[in-house]
Structure formats: C-alpha cells, structure tokens
C-alpha cells in the first residue's frame, strides 16, 4: 500500500445546514464526492471526548491535536485547574507559596474570559480571593480581552464582573485593580513566533506602563470603540489604567492562562531571551498556571502540573521505523507537531519524524482567506514522493478565518481547502495510498450565533449575530483509498491514532482507544 496522508481541516465541523454555516454554504465538490463515495463517520471533538470538564465546553486545536496524536483522552488544562482549585492543592503548592512570599505586588496576566479555551475568569477570581486571604495587599490584573472564544464586543461584561470582584477586595483593605490590558490578538498572546510585536506591546503595557492611559479599563474600551467603530474585542489596542501598576523588581507575576500556545512567548519575555528590546527586565517571581513547554521547562515555576502524555502515535511509529512528515503554516504548525507529539517541542526522532513549516502572512485572515493552503499542498505533493509512509498536515483556514466572524471570507476559506483536497486526493490515489480527512473541532460551521436549541440568533434590527468562537459540532472522518469493504463506526478524536496505526500496519498500544474501523 502507498502512503497514508492525514489532512486536518482545522475548524471545519458538521453543523446545521443553515445560513450561518460557511461549510454548508461553500462550494465543496471534493468533500461532496468523498462523502458520497468513501467510508466516513462523525467524530466527537469537544467536551469530555477531548478531556474537557463538560460537554458544554467547546473543543479547541490544542486538546484536539493532543487527542489525535495520543490515541487516548487526557484530562486537559481546564479540568486540571478546576480539580486543583476544588481540592485546594493549587494554593497549598510550593509555587503559590513563593508567589506570596515576594515582597512586592502580585500581578495576574491573562485572558479575561469564560471561554474555557485559554482561561476562565473564575480561576482568576479564585486566585485573587486566595491571595487576599493570605495577606497580599496589592493585587493587579492585566486583562487581555477575548471576543474570540466568547461573543465579540462582550469585553465590557467581563471587565464589569472583574471590577466587581476587585471592588469587594478593596473594601477589605486590598489595593486591587486592573492595571493594563488590550485585545488578545494585538497584545501579549502571540503564538509560534508569528508576530513578536504582539508580545512587545504587552510587555510595554504590563511591565513598562507604556501605553495610552485611561481612568479605567472600561473607559479604555469605550475610547477604542469610538476611535474605531466595529473594532473586535480581540483587536483592542493596549492601554494602562491611570495611577498605573507596572511590574517592578520584587513583584510576583502569575500568567493565569492554562493553554500553552499563546502563553509561551510572554513566558520567554520574563525568563529567557526575546527578539525585542525589553528596556528593563524586572527581578520577579514568575509562574504560569501550568508548565506550557515541558521540553524547554517553560516556565520554570507553575501552579498546576500538566497532563503527562506518553506513548504518542509518533513514538509508536518511530519504534516501528515508519518515516513520518508533518506540515502546516505558522498559525497551526505547533498543533500538528508540538501538540500532536504530546506537548513536545522537538521531533521524537528527526530522522523519522520530519517537520516542515511554512510562514503565515501577517494580515487579517479574512483579507486573505486562502492563507497558505496552496503552499502547504505544494510541499505535501513533493513530500509524497519522498519515501514517507505517513504524512500529516493541517489547513488552518476554517479556524483562523472563522475566528474573524466574517462569513463570506469563511466560505472562501473552506473552498480554498476543498480545492487543495482535490489535488491531494489525486496524488495519493496515483501512489496507491490512503487519504484520511478529518478536523480537530468546529468553527466555520457556526459563523452566526445559534441558541442552544440550534436556532440562529438575531441582534439589533433582526440582523444575525456574528460568531467568532469554536462550535460544539462533530467533525468528519473520511477514508479514500482504504481496502475494499472497510467500514467505520462512531467515535471521537482519540480513536484516530489507532485507526492510522491499523492503516499503516502497525500494532497500536493496548491502552489506545479502538480503531474506528469496524469491518
């Protein structure tokens, strides 16, 4: 048999066939043909199926790729933090004690949201209450605003809730306030070194106090909306609150996000080297909610131990001497490598697990919804002739364009992926291989907000409400070129690794979830 190619269509779920579903509205002749002629099934890609606390929790690319590459479901960041807080272990740990022992203020940097993808506001509120109860008298929040994993233009709601908690602490004699902030895609939360300027803006606001100043965070948001009507929460500019509380020597800092991809670079700014002028680097006690990169031991101090993901499919294939190849553009490169490999920053064996990265464009993704799909496809077509037995790629389009809330651009994004699938399908078929098509979670399938009953919501004037978040939709799993008569049963993302091992003729570990192949 020829090579097995896994295509992960990031953010392409199977949602209701309505006017809010860019996947449904897109012209997708290749996907239509594959569904009509090939074995296929639907996979659960959210909630407990990927290690999140409940089935009300949307899946995301981090946990999705962990499950795809690990063959099992591990309790993930949100679940681990919830448990650690509930059992009191977090505030009894050594790292928390070291933060409290710092003589200066205690600062909290992170995404102010209840999206439960990168963070949850209740984790921040619990830590603030615990710090005040332990006697810390100066507590400052550096609030990154969401509008991506939650409804856009909802920043004011989260700021008001946070201000309510801080006001209660002030009544008990604690200087507790928001010190700085900005939108997550403009301030602090870059990933995969796509644009270090984002981290630099955060550093200047949080550490140097160098950003436009306002009497309050709410007034900063109001000013940004007045200056740029329609600006998304995720793109709000950096700000500081008058009176300021920049991070200085002797302070302690907690990065309270639990997800790693958009946390690593700001950790580097505090603990390692960065490609921008920090002006000053304060001597602080720094901790992450979790250790976001185990290979790099980054950060060195953390509050909750992350899941230990071992015996990934990459490790299994290396032991079997199967040559693999992984590719995506910058925006999802770490997902198809780092997260796929169980949160490891380097290949298991660079001779047998080869990684190829393509630089993403630095433009708003709805301005160029095709992104680098063609370049990923070109590289994959070349790699198919390179003697690799297993290839895995990620097309970021459905997710990254889906996050913009631009339905028309998302339609084009899905169509771009479908065009590339046609080229890959032909190439794999000519080599007698198997094309496996799936996704890590939904997003482009829900460009307009739906109620819990599935109905499209209406905003002011009866207009649809744009959605920038992931969805709860299942995702496709399709096999083209598989042995005749092969059938697929239901499952989740964790069942994919054993299925791939079976296609490659490799024995899956006994603790893997079973293959999706039923006959």
Catalytic (active-site) positions: 61
- What proportion of the chain, given as a percentage, has pLDDT over 70? 99
In degrees and rounded to multiples of 5, residue 180 shows phi and psi of -160, 175
Least confident of 142-146, 259-263, 308-312: 259-263
First to last CA, the chain: 18
Residue 480 in 3-state DSSP? strand
Q: Let me know if the fold of 4-75+308-503 is the same as that of 78-304.
A: no
- Report pLDDT digits (tens) over 471-485: 999 999 999 998 888
Per-residue pLDDT, 295: 56
Residue 125 in 3-state DSSP? helix
Residue 68 CA to residue 132 CA, distance in Å, equals 41
3-state secondary structure labels for all residues of 51-96? CCCCCCCCCCHHHHHHHHHHCCCCCCHHHHHHHHHHCCCHHHCHHH
In degrees and rounded to multiples of 5, residue 157 shows phi and psi of -60, -45
Confidence of residue 261 (pLDDT cuts 50, 70, 90): confident
- Report pLDDT digits (tens) over 313-366: 999 999 999 999 999 999 999 999 999 999 888 999 999 999 999 999 989 999
Per-residue pLDDT, 70: 97
Q: Cα-Cα-Cα-Cα dihedral of 195, 309, 113, 493, to 10°?
A: 100
Average pLDDT of every residue of the chain: 94
In CATH terms, the fold of domain 78-304 is 3.40.1450
Map out the domains of the chain as residue ranges: 4-75+308-503, 78-304
- Report pLDDT digits (tens) over 33-88: 999 999 999 999 998 999 887 788 888 888 999 999 999 999 888 889 999 999 99
Confidence of residue 244 (pLDDT cuts 50, 70, 90): confident
- Report pLDDT digits (tens) over 390-447: 999 999 999 999 989 999 999 999 999 999 999 999 999 999 999 999 999 999 999 9
- Order the strands of the 324-329 sheet from edge to edge: 353-358, 324-329, 390-395, 4-9, 434-438, 475-480, 40-44, 491-492
Q: Helices 61-70 and 496-503 meet at what angle, rounded to 10?
A: 40
Per-residue pLDDT, 519: 75
In CATH terms, the fold of domain 4-75+308-503 is Alkaline Phosphatase, subunit A (3.40.720)
- Report pLDDT digits (tens) over 494-513: 999 999 999 999 999 999 99
Looking at the DSSP bridge assignments, the partners of residue 180 are 142, 240
């Amino acid at each position: 048999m020829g090579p097995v190619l896994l295509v992960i269509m990031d953010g392409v779920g199977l949602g209701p066939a309505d006017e809010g579903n860019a996947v449904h509205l897109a012209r997708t002749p290749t996907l239509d043909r594959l569904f009509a002629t090939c074995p296929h099934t639907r996979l659960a890609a959210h909630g407990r199926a990927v290690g999140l606390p409940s089935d009300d929790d949307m899946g995301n690319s981090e946990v999705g790729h962990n499950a795809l590459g690990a063959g099992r479901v591990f309790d993930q960041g949100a679940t681990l933090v919830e448990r650690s807080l509930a059992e009191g272990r977090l505030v009894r740990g050594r790292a928390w004690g070291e933060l409290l022992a710092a003589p200066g203020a205690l600062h909290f940097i992170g995404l102010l949201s209840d999206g439960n993808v990168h963070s949850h506001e209740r984790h921040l509120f619990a830590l603030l209450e615990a710090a005040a109860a332990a006697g810390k008298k100066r507590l400052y929040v550096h609030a990154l605003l969401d509008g991506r994993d939650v409804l856009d233009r909802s920043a004011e709601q989260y700021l008001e809730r946070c201000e309510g908690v801080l006001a209660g602490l002030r009544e008990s004699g604690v200087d507790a306030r928001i010190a700085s902030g900005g939108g997550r895609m403009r301030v602090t939360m870059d990933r995969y070194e796509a644009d270090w300027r984002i981290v630099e803006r955060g550093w200047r606001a949080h550490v140097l106090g160098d950003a436009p100043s306002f009497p309050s965070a709410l007034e900063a948001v109001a000013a940004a909306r007045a200056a740029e009507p329609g600006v998304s929460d995720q793109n709000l500019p950096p700000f500081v609150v008058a009176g300021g509380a920049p991070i200085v020597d002797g302070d302690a800092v907690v990065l309270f996000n639990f997800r790693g991809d958009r946390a690593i670079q700001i950790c580097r700014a505090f603990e390692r080297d960065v490609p921008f002028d920090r002006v000053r680097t304060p001597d602080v006690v720094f901790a992450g909610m979790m250790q976001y990169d185990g290979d790099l031991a980054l950060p060195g101090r953390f509050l909750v131990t992350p899941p230990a993901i071992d015996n990934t499919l990459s490790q299994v294939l290396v032991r079997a001497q199967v040559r693999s190849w992984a590719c995506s553009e910058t925006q999802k490169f770490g997902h198809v490598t780092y997260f796929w490999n169980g949160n490891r920053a380097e290949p298991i064996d660079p001779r047998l697990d080869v990684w190829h990265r393509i630089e993403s464009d630095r433009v708003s993704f709805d301005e160029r919804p095709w992104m680098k799909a063609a370049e990923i496809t070109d590289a994959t077509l070349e790699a198919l002739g390179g003697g690799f037995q297993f290839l895995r790629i990620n097309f970021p389009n459905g997710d990254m364009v889906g996050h913009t809330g631009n339905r028309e651009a998302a339609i084009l994004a899905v169509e771009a992926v479908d065009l590339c699938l046609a080229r890959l399908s032909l190439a794999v078929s000519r080599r007698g291989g198997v094309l496996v098509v799936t996704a890590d979670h939904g997003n482009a399938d829900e460009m307009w907000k739906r109620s819990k009953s599935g109905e499209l919501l209406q905003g002011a004037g009866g207009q649809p409400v744009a959605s920038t978040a992931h969805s709860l939709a299942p995702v496709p799993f399709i096999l083209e070129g598989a042995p005749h008569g092969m059938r697929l049963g239901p499952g989740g993302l964790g069942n994919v690794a054993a299925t791939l091992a079976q296609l490659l003729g490799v024995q899956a570990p006994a603790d893997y979830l079973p293959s999706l192949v039923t006959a």
